[in-house]
Chains A and B, each alone.
Chain A
Amino acid sequence: MKLMKLEIVTPLGVIFDDEVKQVTLPGSEGEFGVLPDHAALVSLLDTGVIVIETKDGKEISVAVNSGYVKVEENKTLCVVDGAVALNAEDSNLASAIAEAKELLEKASDSNMAIASAMSKVDSLSKGV
């Protein structure tokens, strides 16, 4: 399967920079998925969860508060204000989830967005 480059940058540094199979993003007009060879696109990101399918088929979730995404043919760049990575194999998943929840709660005044993001984060903790 084709891969594309994904970069997630926050004011505190680059938190993800690798090849991925697919990424699902919380756009301000609705959630959308990006596969390799996607058309060029720029979108606002809302509070939510970015779901990444890595090149070895693993799933990583990243909770974000707000930002932008720019999609080019085989390169996706997310510039976000705050992000917490939730990796199911990480031993500190519980604390990361708590951190992610705090970030989401503070981030948005739209309860809908928070609730949907929260449920995603919660489902992740149950999966462990």
Chain B
Amino acid sequence: MANLKEIKRKISSVKGTQKTTRAMKLVSSAKLKRAEEVAKRSKVYASKLTELLNEIAQKMNNSDGEIDNVFFKENPNPKVVDIVFVSADKGLCGGFNYQTIKRVNKLLKEYSNVEVRLSGIGKKGIAFYRYNKLDMINEIEDLSASPSYERAAEFISKLVEDYIEGKTDKIILVHNGYVNMITQEIVEQQLLPVDSSTVDLDSVSMSELEVEPDDDDTLIDALVRKYIDYSMYYALLNSLAAEHSARMQAMDAATSNAGEMVQKLTVKYNKARQEAITTELIEIISGMESLK
């Protein structure tokens, strides 16, 4: 009989968990909708900004096909590489954070022969590297849940300054990106030097472009900075949308797993109940038999 009671208690506890996971799924899907909307709107801006950068780069393009600007010059032997990662502040979202960490670890291995500096956004990733005793030069813990352009720009501008001063040769951004409701994809993006192969030089043919202020560097510097700030911000938005979709999925799976478990436990409970009744009946019958 004690067994029966125990199973019953287990069932109600699993049902309680199921309620929580279901609620969390609903919350995530609502938040996902909002995050998706914001990401979608800023995608227009991002594409226009890239378009503008492309055209300016085209103008800067000198005869030997190289862009003569500090932001575009690739150092063939980088000595210092900066890795910036974006993770979530919260867990319970499946492999979301772990995938980012895995990719960062892969990069760490890849650049093991040079000095690597790590910068992190998001509690989970930071906690992981703290636990593994890896120092980070920059960290922010409460940005990934509520992305703000100003704070993202402030965060990345420290690294951009370092790049200009020659303290670092390369900046790589790693984050989890939103593809659709059920898929997330790790994005690894080289922020600096600006990968000129992404600049499609043939797409523009504007040679008669006037530029104001007419000192080219002022404009391109400002534009590249903007491009980087915005890439950082967009990474946060994208990562947030991915986080919510990952959590939605994880919670959906948890809810259906809980349902399965309740079913199994109910079967077990019924069997135990049957068994108890049968035993009782046998006892009564055999008692009566002995009285005859």
Q: Given the complex, which residues of A lie within 8 Å of B38, measured CB to CB?
A: 12
The answer to whether B213 touches A40 (Cβ under 8 A) is: no
B202 within 8 A of A: no
Q: Which residue of A lies closest to B211 (CB)?
A: A42
Hey, what's the 0/1 contact readout for A19-39 against B, CB within 8 Å counting as 1? 000000001110000000001
Hey, what's the 0/1 contact readout for B202-236 against A, CB within 8 Å counting as 1? 00001011111100001100110010001001000
Q: Given the complex, which residues of B lie within 8 Å of A12, measured CB to CB?
A: 38, 41-42
Nearest Cβ on chain A to B50's Cβ, whole angstroms: 10
The contact sample of 23 A-B pairs, CB cut-off 8 A, is A9-B45, A9-B48, A11-B41, A11-B230, A12-B42, A13-B45, A14-B44, A27-B212, A29-B212, A29-B213, A39-B208, A40-B206, A40-B209, A41-B209, A41-B212, A42-B55, A42-B210, A42-B212, A43-B212, A44-B218, A44-B222, A77-B52, A79-B45
Q: How many residues of B contact A (CB 8 A)?
A: 26
Nearest Cβ on chain B to A56's Cβ, whole angstroms: 25
Closest 4 CB pairs of A and B: A43-B212, A13-B41, A41-B210, A11-B42
Main SS of chain A's interface residues?
A: strand
Task: Find B223's partner among A13, A14, A68, A77 (CB 8 Å cutoff).
Answer: A68
The answer to whether A28 touches B208 (Cβ under 8 A) is: no
Give the distance in Å from the alpha carbon of A83 to the alpha carbon of B225 in the complex.
Answer: 19
Which one of B48, B51, B223 has the greatest number of beta carbons of chain A within 10 Å? B48
Task: Find A70's partner among B52, B149, B226, B230 (CB 8 Å cutoff).
Answer: B52
